[in-house]
Amino acid sequence: MKKIFKYILPCMALGLVLTSCYDEVDDKSTIDNKYFKSSANSVAFTSADVIDYQSIALAATVADTLDMKEVGFQVATSADFKDCASVVATRDKNAFSASVAGLEGETTYFARAYVVAQNGNTILSSEVKELTTPRVPIFTVNNTFLVHELEYDSDNEEWVPQLDDEGNDVGYYLINIEFAEGSDTDVIITGFCGFSDAVVAGTWDAESSTITLEAPQAVGEHAKYGTMFFRGLNDGITGYTNTVVLKFTPLGGLISSSNYTLSVQAGNFGFYRFDGAVYTEE
């Protein structure tokens, strides 16, 4: 399949275990008495950064690695940590770190590092980090998207990247979506299936945030087999469907497709689907 662009999408944040800091809300003096503040920098931050509107990255060190059974961070929206979550971190010798996802945009968060000793005592960092997430980006469907197309490996029954002979992922390409002139439902998509000149039509449904493409539609010409069409596939990859559905997420500008195949009169050229995001040229 013809591909025109390669790009690495932002990695997703690490999955984390979140637990409540307190079973019930106490006053600040009661809360502080439950913990030991670190002395001589026994637990200290090394970095605290905002990743995007919904995630932050935290890192710290601990002086004594022998007397501990858990390390992590407490994150709250108030400086007194009355209502917070404990994020269990990944440790490498004296260093530990975690990425915290699922946060709110335009919100100030407070974070402190902690170590749970073998005797059950919790030691807190003396330093508290204050971080503010940016405004949540809201995107319209009328945009250019960088998508990552995966191919179905029927032998192993899994979706895999499309790799060239040198092991490079060649499944990235751009599609452009715009409303047809004078319409707020009819859309024109350019670049579908990785063919830069391909132009296909779809119907936008604002209530479900989906674009439905009637199938089959032509996307290009094969030098040997003639006109190539995309056709929809069901979830089990066992039969054709009459549509391909693109699901759009305005919050963050994400897009994903249902399953489809490329067909010519002689047969098919594989089974595909994609995920992507609004493309911003740097």
Last residue of a domain, one of 109, 132, 155: 132
pLDDT higher at 36 or 110: 110
Dihedral class, residue 93 (left if φ above 0, else alpha if ψ from -120 to 50, else beta): left
| 121 and 154 inside one domain | no
- Whether residue 6 lies inside any domain: the answer is no
User: What integer pLDDT is reported at residue 11 of this predicted model?
Assistant: 32
| Beta strands at 267-278 and 144-153: parallel, antiparallel or unpaired | antiparallel
| 154 and 240 inside one domain | yes
User: What integer pLDDT is reported at residue 16 of this predicted model?
Assistant: 38
- 4 vs 171, 198, 263, CA distance in Å? 9, 12, 20
| Res. 41 pLDDT band, cuts 50 70 90 | very low
Handedness of CA 56, 59, 60, 65 (dihedral sign): positive
Residues 156, 144: Cα–Cα separation, whole Å: 33
- Whether residue 196 lies inside any domain: the answer is yes
User: What integer pLDDT is reported at residue 9 of this predicted model?
Assistant: 31
- Whether residue 138 lies inside any domain: the answer is no
pLDDT higher at 37 or 93: 93
| 169 and 226 inside one domain | yes
- Whether residue 3 lies inside any domain: the answer is no
pLDDT > 80? residue 7: no
| Res. 150 pLDDT band, cuts 50 70 90 | very high
Tell which residue, 54, 64, 14, 3, has the closest CA to residue 198.
3
Last residue of a domain, one of 79, 98, 132: 132
Total domain count, the chain: 2
User: What integer pLDDT is reported at residue 145 of this predicted model?
Assistant: 98
| 122 and 148 inside one domain | no
| 268 and 185 inside one domain | yes
Residue range(s) defining the domain that contains residue 234: 144-278
> What CATH number has the domain bearing residue 151?
2.40.128
Tell which residue, 162, 224, 238, has the closest CA to residue 193.
162
User: What integer pLDDT is reported at residue 51 of this predicted model?
Assistant: 94
| 123 and 186 inside one domain | no
Residue 32 — φ and ψ, nearest 5°?
Answer: -60, -30
| 107 and 223 inside one domain | no
Across 32-46, 91-105, 152-166, least confident range: 32-46
Q: Who contacts 33 (Cβ-Cβ below 8 Å, separation ≥6)?
A: none
| Beta strands at 36-37 and 122-124: parallel, antiparallel or unpaired | parallel
| 272 and 162 inside one domain | yes
- Whether residue 2 lies inside any domain: the answer is no
| 270 and 152 inside one domain | yes
Last residue of a domain, one of 103, 132, 161: 132
Average pLDDT, stretch 22-26? 43
Average pLDDT, stretch 53-82? 90
| 176 and 266 inside one domain | yes
> What CATH number has the domain bearing residue 41?
2.60.40.10
Question: CB burial class (10 A; 0-12, 13-18, 19+) of residue 165?
Answer: exposed
pLDDT higher at 210 or 82: 210
| 87 and 115 inside one domain | yes
Q: Is 239 helix (H, G, I), strand (E, B) or coil?
A: coil
**DSSP tag of 192:** G
Element (H, E) at 228: strand 226-233
What is the percent of the chain with per-residue pLDDT over 70, rounded to a whole number? Answer: 84
- Whether residue 11 lies inside any domain: the answer is no
pLDDT > 80? residue 179: yes
Amino acid at 206: A
Mean pLDDT of the chain: 86
- Whether residue 90 lies inside any domain: the answer is yes
| 118 and 163 inside one domain | no
What the block records as the tokens of 113 is 């590092």
